[in-house]
Amino acid sequence: MGLVRLLRSSIARVAVLHGLVLAAAMIAVLSGVYIATDRLIANEGDQLISIELQNLTESFKNLDAEAFVATIVDRADDPWIRGGVYELHGPRGDFLAGNVVVLSDLKTPPGEWTEFEVADTNNDTDLSRQIRAKVEDLGGGYHLLVGHDVQDRRAFKTVMLHSVIWAVLATLLFGVIGGWWLARRISRTAKAISSSAARIALGNLTERLPLSGNGDEIDTLVSQFNELLARVDTLTTTLRAVLDSTAHDLRGHLNRIRGAAQDASLKATSPEETSAVTLVLTEIDRLSDTLQGLLRIALAESGTVPLERVDLSAITADLVEFYQPVASQPLQADITPSLWVRGHRQLLTQALSNALDNALKYGRGSTVSIRLVRHEQHALLTISDQGPGIPAEQREWAKQRFRRLPGSSGLPGSGLGLSLIAAVARLHQAELNLQDAEPGLALCLSLPLSHE
Amino acid sequence: MNILLVEDDRRASEFLSQGLRALGHQVEQRFDGEAGLKAAMQGQYDVLLLDRMLPKLDGLDVVKRLRGIGNDTPTLILSALDEVDERVQGLRAGGDDYLAKPYHLEELTARLEALTRRKGASSLNDRLKLADLELDARARKVTRGGKKIDLTTREFQLLEFLMRHARQVVTRTMILEGVWDYHFDPKTNVIDVHISRLRQAIDKDFTVQLLHTVRGAGYTLSEDP
């Protein structure tokens, strides 16, 4: 099981692959060398025999039969070629001289090569020697066989084969080790990058990815990524600044208008004036509420608010207790204690308050239940009512700004509640789902847990 | 109340000081941070009303400098910036309270009242008393006319908050912030429901009603109707 898991890691895969590729290359190179060398040795041996045969053919022409037989006898006793064999047959096919007796059995036609085995006479063992030989017709019925031992060639082959195996195994081993080292280096860099990226994704745009400093391709990639981050940081900062100055400006205007209206209300002399000014004040308040809502959404979406570890269970329990008295049916709460997440307490509280408020409002007096449980590495919060719910095709639409569901015109609200929840969910890297609670609507929020 | 108002928006400053004067307060106006700091250091004011963003010297810097020289005049910071994190910064700089623009005059005066009173009354006192209503913060015990009253934890906190601001108007926002630490408007009458539950608990069996609603502003805990 451990091995399977190990092989699944990219480091191990790269290491094994690296080793295998190197070993394959080694096999290809060494096989080439092996085949070429083998051929070279074989040619050299055959050439030696051909030359010896040529020499002896010459001698046969120059000597008489007896002297030639003596030459062969000498050669057979003390071969010029290492491991050489000789056999001379007379015109009647009779054995005249030599250190092997094979010619009559072989029936090899003159000019042809042959291979055979002979018993090793040097040792007492029953080992045999592999011989490669050529037969020549000397003329006048004389046939001569000259050959030599290819044992050396075989021994060479064996040594060569062993060397190849060892070389390949060593290459495989060093290849795996080298690959492991290489992959680990890359993987460490990748891990450093990904953990930095994760922190950056959480909103810390001032962080930069670490450079190794050796100016390789990874460094180039990292520095380009850092440039990209700087650009995003600048854009976000600019956006936030625009947001802040717009907010500041609009609030300043609203404040002056409200001051003027308040002033007018203090100086109002008739009931008509009073009611007119009151209407203006109400509208200003509504406008500033909407502005406030939009700014909160923009703030959450800018991702520039600092997050800290907060106890989601405590926040939820407090909200349940807060809303309990206004619920016509008691709220049903099932809250797993001490689920901590990285979040912005105020924005998170406001978003959950909106969710609870919606459930109480749209649930129309039905039972509202709040469930907070741990699901793997997430805190799963579900707020459901038994009201009319939202049709599946309208759920995404409902998350947008200023969307109000049909039939909600009699209820208070600005149409920003659910969009704030969606924006706050994004800020917290949480998944927001609107589901059918059969009947009613279930709002599910899945937030990554924070461990410290 | 003797108020120093430092606000660079002249029209807003005008409307605000008129409103405050109409309620019987004395208001002195300054229009930039330096002049504001100088006035605050020289004069004797009950409370300082400081805009967050001021020319020459930032509102937060004015508070920091004042606190630096040991001047602890209660200070309310007014700001047109979103209060989500600004508020924390304002309080950290030494401000005593924070109010976002646009504000209601009633909200502003209630907070000014709370700030000036807070200085006199010991806020660390554990035994609070109003008429025959007594609250022991340490023992978490409430009695009225010697009779024990059972409250939930939150009702107790709500009552404690109201008693620490006895005979003052407290707004719904002040209650939300002071008791729940919620800095948003829940848009429903939740606070009213919590108050009426508390009223049930402390006033129901008694002839003298202590917890009163102040129309258009909030609530007050007082023996006088």
Note whether B139 and B107 are same-domain residues: no
Domain C-terminal end among B120, B150, B169: B120
Q: What is the reported pLDDT for A446?
A: 93
Domain C-terminal end among B100, B120, B140: B120
Note whether B8 and B109 are same-domain residues: yes
| Residue A406 confidence class, pLDDT cut points 50, 70, 90 | low
Burial A229-262 (b: 16+ CB within 10 A, else e): beeebeeeeeebeebbeebbebbbebbbbbbbbb
Cα of B190 to nearest chain A Cα, Å: 6
Count of domains for chain B? 2
Domain that holds residue B39: 2-120
Note whether B95 and B178 are same-domain residues: no
| Residue A1 confidence class, pLDDT cut points 50, 70, 90 | very low
Which of the two residues, A436 and A414, has the higher pLDDT score? Answer: A436
Burial B183-194 (b: 16+ CB within 10 A, else e): bbebbbebbebb
Chain A residues in contact with B9 by the CB 8 A cut-off are 252, 255-256
Note whether B90 and B8 are same-domain residues: yes
Cα of A252 to nearest chain B Cα, Å: 6
Stretches where chain B sits below pLDDT 70 are 82-83, 118-124, 225
Note whether B53 and B132 are same-domain residues: no
- For residue B69, the surrounding DSSP H or E stretch is none
Q: What is the reported pLDDT for B27?
A: 94
Per CATH, is A308-448 categorized as 3.40.50.300? no
A255 touches chain B (CB under 8 A): yes
Which of the two residues, A6 and B44, has the higher pLDDT score? Answer: B44
Note whether B105 and B144 are same-domain residues: no
Judge whether residue A251 has pLDDT over 60. Answer: yes
Q: What is the reported pLDDT for A413?
A: 61
Note whether B110 and B205 are same-domain residues: no
**Looking at residue B108, which CATH number applies to its domain?**
3.40.50.2300
The token pair that represents A417 in the structure block: 């509640």
3-state DSSP of chain A: CHHHHHHHCHHHHHHHHHHHHHHHHHHHHHHHHHHHHHHHHHHHHHHHHHHHHHHHHHHHHHCCHHHHHHHHHHHHHCCCCCCEEEEEECCCCCEEEECCCCHHHHCCCCCCEEEEEEECCCCCCCCEEEEEEEEEEEECCEEEEEEEECHHHHHHHHHHHHHHHHHHHHHHHHHHHHHHHHHHHHHHHHHHHHHHHHHHHCCCCCCCCCCCCCCCHHHHHHHHHHHHHHHHHHHHHHHHHHHHHHHHHHHHHHHHHHHHHHHHHHHCCCHHHHHHHHHHHHHHHHHHHHHHHHHHHHHHHHCCCCCEEEEHHHHHHHHHHHHHHHCCCCCEEEECCCCEEEECHHHHHHHHHHHHHHHHHHCCCCCCEEEEEEECCEEEEEEECCCCCCCHHHHHHHCCCCCCCCCCCCCCCCCCHHHHHHHHHHHCCCEEEEEECCCCEEEEEEEEECCC
Give the best residue of A243, A245, A249, A255 to mutate against chain B (max B CB count within 10 A): A255
Cα of A260 to nearest chain B Cα, Å: 6
Nearest CA to B163 among B130, B206, B120, B136?
B130
Judge whether residue A397 has pLDDT over 80. Answer: no
Note whether B186 and B212 are same-domain residues: yes
Note whether B102 and B142 are same-domain residues: no
Q: How far apart are the first and last CA of chain B?
A: 23
Q: Is B32 helix (H, G, I), strand (E, B) or coil?
A: coil
Judge whether residue A210 has pLDDT over 80. Answer: no
The model's pLDDT over A117-156, given as tens digits with 9 standing for 90+, comes to: 887 665 555 567 788 888 888 888 888 888 888 877 777 8
Q: What is the reported pLDDT for A115?
A: 84
The model's pLDDT over A129-139, given as tens digits with 9 standing for 90+, comes to: 788 888 888 88
Q: Is there a contact between A266 and B22 if contact means CB atoms under 8 Å apart?
A: yes
Note whether B141 and B170 are same-domain residues: yes
Q: Count CA atoms closer than 13 A to A56's CA, side-chain side.
A: 34
* CATH number assigned to the domain with residue range A2-155, chosen from the 4 options 3.40.50, 3.30.450, 3.40.1000, 3.20.20: 3.30.450
In chain A, domain spans: 2-155, 217-302, 308-448
Chain B residues in contact with A251 by the CB 8 A cut-off are 80-81, 100-102
Are B98 and B76 a contacting pair, CB within 8 Å?
yes
ipTM of the modeled complex = 0.86
Nearest CB neighbour to A305, from listed B14, B85, B102: B85
B105 touches chain A (CB under 8 A): yes
* Residues of chain A numbered 373-432 and touching chain B (CB < 8 Å): 412-413
Judge whether residue A352 has pLDDT over 90. Answer: yes
* Strongest mean pLDDT among A131-145, A151-165, A204-218, A397-411: A131-145
| Residue A6 confidence class, pLDDT cut points 50, 70, 90 | low
Q: Is there a contact between B82 and A247 if contact means CB atoms under 8 Å apart?
A: yes
Nearest CA to A342 among A452, A421, A420, A243?
A452
Note whether B73 and B153 are same-domain residues: no
Residue of B nearest to A300 (CA): B84
Q: What is the reported pLDDT for A412?
A: 55
Domain C-terminal end among B86, B120, B154: B120
Note whether B137 and B160 are same-domain residues: yes
Which residue, chain included where needed, has tokens 């010029």? A80
For A23-45, what is the mean pLDDT?
A: 87
Give the best residue of B173, B175, B188 to mutate against chain A (max A CB count within 10 A): B188
| Residue A78 confidence class, pLDDT cut points 50, 70, 90 | confident
Chain A residues in contact with B188 by the CB 8 A cut-off are 326, 357, 360, 412
Q: Is there a contact between B80 and A412 if contact means CB atoms under 8 Å apart?
A: no
For A312-319, what is the mean pLDDT?
A: 94
**Looking at residue B216, which CATH number applies to its domain?**
1.10.10.10
Q: What is the reported pLDDT for A405?
A: 62
| Residue A366 confidence class, pLDDT cut points 50, 70, 90 | confident
Q: What is the reported pLDDT for B118?
A: 67
